[in-house]
């Protein structure tokens, strides 16, 4: 089966997590192909598996409620991050049984994001010892994945035009020597979300289609 893309529109984080797990099971059973899921979440802070990640929430419960931000403990790798409107979240549900190299998989996800933002005139790169994609010391995309029976889920989040104030309620990914940015902040004129999504899909399947 060839890969496919699903656009779920805006979703609550917990619902999208459950839907990912169903796709993982379907791929494991051979009833669904490799799939790239794209979505946009309601405002949420997700806490990854890294020890001490929950200590990186800075806002009080009152502030969280005032901004309408949910907090969810998840099983992906990494620290704490924010998801919300204006961000393209990608969940690749891929079978890695013939490519059992998580390091290579992560590097390929980074490459997809680097190529995507390059299309809009931005030079992004990796930072030694840190996850995600950066423009100098400004993080524009986060990555946090999980694997079940060598099938991937969770994934990446690319900031198109989110409310960057929401990142001030946490220490994003536990990083204190950088800031968070977006395509809207870095590009003039800013690309439309649909343009970014189309390019992201193209770059993703260039790297991940027709794997043997």
Find the CATH number of the domain harbouring 52: 3.30.930.10
State the Cα–Cα distance between residues 74 and 80, nearest whole angstrom.
Answer: 10
- Domain hosting residue 57, numbered range: 4-208
Of 173, 183, 196, 200, the catalytic one is: 173
User: In the chain, how many H helices and how many E strands?
Assistant: 5, 11
Q: What value does the mean pLDDT take over residues 121-143?
A: 90
Which residues are CB-neighbours of 68 under 8 A, at least 6 positions away?
Answer: 42, 43
State the Cα–Cα distance between residues 20 and 28, nearest whole angstrom.
Answer: 12
212 has a pLDDT exceeding 60: no
Does the predicted model carry a pTM greater than 0.75?
Answer: yes
The region, left, alpha or beta by phi > 0 then psi within -120 to 50, assigned to residue 126 is beta
Query: What pLDDT, on the 0 to 100 scale, is given for residue 54?
Result: 77
98 has a pLDDT exceeding 60: yes
Query: What pLDDT, on the 0 to 100 scale, is given for residue 78?
Result: 77
Total structural domains within the chain? 1
Is 173 an active-site residue? yes
117 has a pLDDT exceeding 90: yes
187 has a pLDDT exceeding 90: yes
């Amino acid at each position: 089966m060839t890969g496919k893309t699903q656009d779920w529109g805006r979703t609550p984080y917990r619902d999208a997590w459950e839907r990912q797990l169903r796709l993982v099971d379907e791929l494991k059973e051979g009833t669904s192909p490799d799939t790239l899921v794209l979505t946009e979440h309601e405002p949420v802070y997700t806490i990854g598996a890294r020890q001490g990640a929950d200590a990186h929430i800075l806002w009080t419960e009152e502030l969280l409620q005032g901004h309408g931000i949910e907090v969810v403990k998840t099983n992906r790798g990494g620290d704490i991050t924010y998801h919300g409107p204006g961000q393209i979240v990608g969940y690749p549900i891929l079978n890695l049984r013939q490519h059992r190299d998580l390091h290579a998989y992560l590097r390929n996800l980074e490459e997809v994001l680097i190529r995507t933002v390059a299309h809009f005139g931005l030079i992004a790169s990796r930072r030694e010892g840190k996850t995600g994609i950066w423009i100098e010391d400004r993080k524009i995309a986060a990555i946090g994945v999980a694997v079940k029976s060598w099938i991937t889920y969770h994934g990446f989040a690319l900031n198109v035009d989110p409310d960057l104030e929401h990142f001030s309620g946490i220490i994003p990914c536990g990083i204190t020597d950088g800031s968070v940015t977006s395509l809207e902040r870095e590009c003039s004129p800013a690309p439309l979300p649909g343009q970014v999504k189309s390019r992201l899909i193209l770059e993703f399947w260039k790297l991940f289609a027709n794997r043997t």
